Amino acid sequence: MDFFFAIDGWIKSTAVSKLMLQSSIAFSLSETLHFIGLCIMLGALLVIDLRILGVMKSTPASVVLKFVPLAVLGFAINLLTGLAFIASNPLGYFTNWMFWTKMGLVTLAGLNAMYFTFVEQPRVLKTPQGETFDLSTRITAALSLAIWVAVIIVGRLLPVTQGEYGTG
Amino acid sequence: MLSDSPVSAWVSESTWTYYGMLAVHAVGMAAVVGGTFMLCLRVLGFGQGMPVADLERLRLVAWGGFFANAISGAILFCSNGPRLVANNMFQIKIASIILGGVALWGLWRAIGPNRLEPVFVFGGQAKSIAIGTLFFWTVAIVTGRYIAYTINFG
């Protein structure tokens, strides 16, 4: 716990933390952007992952991968706004087990996305148009959708398990 | 009264059921708005090479999200009906969803048979409707979020 208290003190001394605490609009605006970011990200992932799973077969894989930067954009928005939330009350988040569950799921989803990018994607691009992708590729796509949906659910449940340190 | 109903008691009695409904609402939102955003972006020129007909497959997902949100929204409404009706953000959100739905219907009409073309540059009319659709659904998210900041819990 001492470790978290030390980090808490340091984060609260930053300008971002002060802004999030002092400006009523900063927190609400970040939350709104977090929701828009998740819509952009999940929308892009629906296109990519459902195509891998065999839906939307008239679109070549190379075209569907154009949606990857959009998913990354949504993630970047949510990473930045997410860091801003933590800055507003670090201990609240660090003492909430639901927060660590969410971070664990985000890490899993990130590892899954890296595996897709470096191992599956080159094979996807070599698969002839109209053919079914490998089972391992399809499992990666199904995992991507399942884990990110779980991230949304767990994220929305954060207030249920927040403790004595408040919002987190 | 709605606030005296068993549904209201059920959703209000535990933070788990209340936030569980909000979690369903968030996933439904991602399905409806996420799918709609992708359609609008394709009409605006993003993702050339993908026929809009392929994105039409997302309609089922979007409708699933819409019904999930109609139900979770109705249950959440039961917990706080009168205060929500009086809340400006809630009023604008519902109006935006209706206008967003009409815009989306108009967008599919404007797309027409061109949905089968993989590489197709849509005209000004379809693009204008796509911008309008993006606008209404974004307003629905923004005002939906601000209900929590403006509602009068009394």
Could you read off the pLDDT of A83-106 as tens digits, one per residue?
999 999 999 999 999 999 999 999
pLDDT tens by residue, B8-30: 888 877 889 999 999 999 999 99
pLDDT on residue B3: 65
Query: Angle at which helices B124-150 and B15-43 pack, to 10 degrees?
Result: 160
Report the residue from A35, A46, A58 with minimal CB separation from B145. A35
pLDDT tens by residue, A119-154: 999 999 999 888 899 999 999 999 999 999 999 999
Q: Looking at chain A, which residue has its C-alpha nearest residue B143?
A: A32
Structure tokens at A120: 């599956």
pLDDT on residue B93: 98
pLDDT at position B89 over 80: yes
The predicted model gives B120-141 an average pLDDT of: 96
List CB contacts (< 8 A) between A149 and chain B.
Answer: 27, 30
pLDDT on residue A124: 93
A125-129, B3-7, B37-41: range with highest mean pLDDT: B37-41
**Side chain identity at A37, as an amino acid letter?**
G
- Containing H/E element for B53? helix B52-55
The predicted model gives B42-52 an average pLDDT of: 94
Residue showing tokens 């949100």: B69
Residue B31 contacts A, CB cutoff 8 Å: yes
- How far apart are alpha carbons B127 and B104 in whole angstroms? 12
pLDDT at position B116 over 70: yes
Of residues B110, B129, B135, the one with CA closest to residue B120: B110
CA A56 → CA A85, A127, B27, B29, B132, distances in Å? 37, 15, 22, 22, 26
Residue B89 contacts A, CB cutoff 8 Å: no
Report the residue from A39, A56, A62 with minimal CB separation from B57. A56
- How far apart are alpha carbons B85 and B141 in whole angstroms? 17
Structure tokens at B33: 């708005």
Count helices and strands (H / E) in chain B. 6, 0
